[in-house]
Chain A
Amino acid sequence: MSSEPLLSVRNLGKKFGGVLALSGVSLDVFKGDIVGIIGPNGSGKTTLVNAITGFIQADTGAVQFKGKDITNWKPHKIAALGLTRTFQVMRPYFSLPAYKNLIVPLFSPRARKTGGWRGGGKMGSRDTVAVDILEEIGFERDSYVPFKLASSLPTGYLKRLELARCLALRPEVIICDEVLSGLSMSEMASMVPLVEKLQMEGITLIMVEHRLRELFRLAGRVIVLNFGCKIAEGTSEEVMEYPEVKQAYFGSEEVYDYV
């Protein structure tokens, strides 16, 4: 690809005490991509997301977004630039109705400047825009789902609410931290076209996932992490052929000798 990457991560490293959570991870994300990040438990996926979005300070390396060096910026500044994220553990504002949850991002300086999702904030009230976003993302307005308390919503809706919170900012890149895990098959089946729709809207997505089948359908490029290192990168077919990836997921043959 000839154009500049939208997001480029170089040699990102992070130590927690003696544990090397990330070591020298590099990746490039281009506009309109869906990039998947996979890896076994504890391989550093969420640490990578946290380090990119400023929620933890990286020890080494650099992150560039839209040509700006955003390494170790404050999270709210990174989000204001248009790089936002969902959280693996969904913690909506439980005491509020679902649509009121979106008032917070819609009230942010970025959304007030751009009008939020599709610039709607410049036309209608924030409440209207919030309900519109939720309706678009699959909260059935006719059965008053957007108006229900966040604490009464099932997991599928909460995952969508996380995504909606990102969308309200009118972001350029969304990093989805396991938006598919914990969903039922039918919820997942409706999530996949939703992600494809977001891609068609021009939003670049980075998806951290455990659900390989759905991810491989969506992601054009997949990055595999293990023990904090990038062990493979390529299309979904390519990465599954790497011996390191097979070993990370299925274990190595030598293991059997010792057992």
Chain B
Amino acid sequence: MSSSKGDRRKERIDRGIKVRSDSVYAISSWKEITYLIAPRLVLILGLALAPLVLSAAPYWQRVVSIICVYSLLAMGFDFLANYVGLVSLGGGFYVGIGAYAAALLNTHFGLPPMITIPMATLLGAIICTVLFLPCLPLRGVYFAIVSLMYPLIAARIVEALDIFGGTDGILGVDGFSNVWIEQYFLVLCVLVMVFALRRLVEEDIGLVFRGVKDNDQAVKASGININQYKAFGVFIASALGCLGGACLTHMYMWAGLSQFALDFSIIPIAATVVGGGGTLVGPVLGCLILVPVSELLRDFGSLRIAVYSIVLTGFIVFKSEGIMIYAARKYEQFERWVEI
């Protein structure tokens, strides 16, 4: 290697404050505490204030709810893809099952939304996990292909057998008692789930999940049944999807075939790419950008999808690491050019 004069390399070094706030020293002064809390506070306050700020524009208030639904899904996708190693395109299936479960519980048994949502989440997650059991031994792109079939098949079955209202869907589902409850319930769900998942992946059980992703052979040789953990991973991801779907049903007061739509499978991936995979917060940021953008692009009519694709391609080409990873790097490290 010739090292002519002027060869430079970018060096990244952890900021002092990042190192200082690493362990117990974090509570040594307000500066360190602020350093740790500030980014979390921005997320919490940002999401908590969004419905208030947008209360003048009910249309955009509804968009916040939709962002939250997509965020839940995208978080599940990120968890499953980057921590369990299963790239699942079954987002539409999770939402659909959650939506129909909530709608049926509400219309048949007359349960209020605050009961149907947790029930639909649990019940839906169990149904999804059981149905996904046969494909758990599949890996990589094979799992992705098979999981993409689930929402398509489910929609066709509902349509062909004319069950659950067929193409009309289930009408007459109760809505949330008022718009504020809807908004803050969803915002709370997203915040709780983000922090819970980020905690989970750092716990010992989370390390097993990461082991399954990194090297499943070694996990098997360690006496751990990997299918059990994959099933648990699918359970968590599908619970998030079903939660989103159940909320969606009560928001629209309707459950129908469009809740098996491919949007729910695709947008989470796009959000994870834009926001930064493996961070679990990234997908939420991705949804915060992509969902409003796609709403704004409604005016473009059929050009919408083209503009959308260009935005996405731009991200993949120029900032493939995603916003969150880029921001975290800038926040935690400084860069300098060194001569080599």
B262, CB-defined interface residue at 8 Å:
no
Which residues on B sit within 8 Å (CB–CB) of A93? 207, 210-211, 214-215, 218
Contact (Cβ within 8 A) A85 B221: yes
Of the stretches B28-36, B116-124, B223-231, the one at the interface is B223-231
| Contact of A80 with B223 at beta-carbon distance under 8 Å, contacts A96-B210, A100-B207 already known | yes
Contact (Cβ within 8 A) B222 A108: yes
How would residues 88 to 104 of chain A score, 1 for a CB under 8 Å from any chain B CB and 0 otherwise?
00011111100010011
Contact (Cβ within 8 A) B208 A107: yes
Q: CA separation between A76 and B223, bound complex, in Å?
A: 4
Cβ distance B140 to chain A, nearest Cβ, rounded Å: 16
Partner of B223, one of A86, A92, A94, A105: A105
Contact (Cβ within 8 A) B222 A79: yes
Q: CA separation between A74 and B220, bound complex, in Å?
A: 9
Which residues on A sit within 8 Å (CB–CB) of B126? none
Which residues on B sit within 8 Å (CB–CB) of A94? 214
| Contact of A84 with B215 at beta-carbon distance under 8 Å, contacts A95-B210, A96-B210, A126-B204 already known | no
Which residues on B sit within 8 Å (CB–CB) of A111? 223
B200, CB-defined interface residue at 8 Å:
no
Which residues on A sit within 8 Å (CB–CB) of B294? none
Contact (Cβ within 8 A) B221 A110: no
**Please, how many residues of chain B have a CB less than 8 angstroms from a CB on the other chain?**
18
Contact (Cβ within 8 A) B215 A91: yes
How would residues 38 to 80 of chain B score, 1 for a CB under 8 Å from any chain A CB and 0 otherwise?
0000000000000000000000000000000000000000000
Interface of B is mostly: helix
Which residues on A sit within 8 Å (CB–CB) of B107? none
A210, CB-defined interface residue at 8 Å:
no
Contact (Cβ within 8 A) B204 A107: yes
Partner of B207, one of A55, A79, A87, A103: A103
Which residues on A sit within 8 Å (CB–CB) of B215? 91-93
A160, CB-defined interface residue at 8 Å:
no
Contact (Cβ within 8 A) B210 A79: no
Within 8 A of A (CB), among B213-268: 214-215, 217-226
Q: CA separation between A77 and B227, bound complex, in Å?
A: 13
Cβ distance A49 to chain B, nearest Cβ, rounded Å: 11
A8, CB-defined interface residue at 8 Å:
no
| Contact of A104 with B217 at beta-carbon distance under 8 Å, contacts A76-B223, A84-B222, A84-B223 already known | no
| Contact of A104 with B211 at beta-carbon distance under 8 Å, contacts A74-B225, A76-B226 already known | yes
Additional 12 contacts, C-beta under 8 A, given A76-B220, A79-B220, A96-B207: A53-B221, A74-B225, A76-B224, A91-B218, A92-B215, A93-B218, A104-B207, A105-B224, A107-B204, A108-B223, A165-B221, A169-B222
Residues of A that sit less than 8 Å from B by CB: 53, 55, 74-77, 79-80, 84-87, 91-96, 100, 103-111, 126, 165-166, 168-169
